[in-house]
Amino acid sequence: MKHFFLNFVGIIPTTAQQPNSPTAQQPNSPTAQQPNSPTAIIFLNQQR
């Protein structure tokens, strides 16, 4: 049971928002909302 618990806890951090995660909002990420990013401006325009 303890072995299963350790494996389950080890899986949780992979789904959390990590600094190096591609799904997290990073300053250098093309999908993040950046002031000077052309994709961010297009996304904001589409939301309106």
* pLDDT reported for residue 1: 53
d(CA 43, CA 32): 10
* pLDDT reported for residue 39: 60
* pLDDT reported for residue 41: 60
* pLDDT reported for residue 12: 53
In this prediction, residues 8-26 reach a mean pLDDT of: 53
Residue 9: pLDDT over 60 = no
- Rounded (5°) CA angle 35-37-38: 125
Q: How confident is the model at residue 21 (pLDDT cuts 50, 70, 90)?
A: low
Residue 8: pLDDT over 60 = no
